[in-house]
Amino acid sequence: MNKRHFLLALAATIAFPALAQEADREPRPFPPSARRGKFTPGYAPPDVTIDGKARQMSPAGRIFSEDNLTVVPASLSEKNIIVNYTEDMNGNIDRIWILTRAEARMKAPSSR
């Protein structure tokens, strides 16, 4: 086996379990009040955009990654990220979950 074949085999060994892991992952339990939308972080916290509308995060608002880890808005550079989100009693966004591809294919909790 030459060096190129070894590197390809090594890359496949590392990549395929990661792909299979997403398929094996249990869907996260979202609250029944969660809504689906397209999220774009704002230029300065607490500003965010959901479905093209300017919104604000609540003071204790959290954003969860695909791995269910909290992230800060400044670390997100993508636009129109498919998310589930909830609002507090004042109408501010209090929780945002960035969805995996499998979760994005499922129905939104509020439309069930």
- DSSP code for 109: G
The DSSP element (H or E) to which 64 belongs, if any, is: strand 53-64
Q: What is the pLDDT along the chain (112 residues), one digit of tens a residue?
A: 566 655 556 566 665 555 445 556 787 999 999 999 999 998 888 899 999 999 999 999 999 999 999 998 888 989 999 999 999 999 999 999 999 999 999 998 877 5
Q: Which residue range forms the structural domain that includes residue 45?
A: 35-106
Domain count, the chain: 1
Q: What is the value of pTM for the model shown?
A: 0.76
In a domain, 85, yes or no: yes
Distance of CA 41 to the CA centre of its chain: 12
Q: What's the CA gap between 31 and 57, in Å, rounded?
A: 18
In a domain, 17, yes or no: no
Give residues with Cβ within 8 angstroms of 112, minimum separation 6.
32
In a domain, 24, yes or no: no
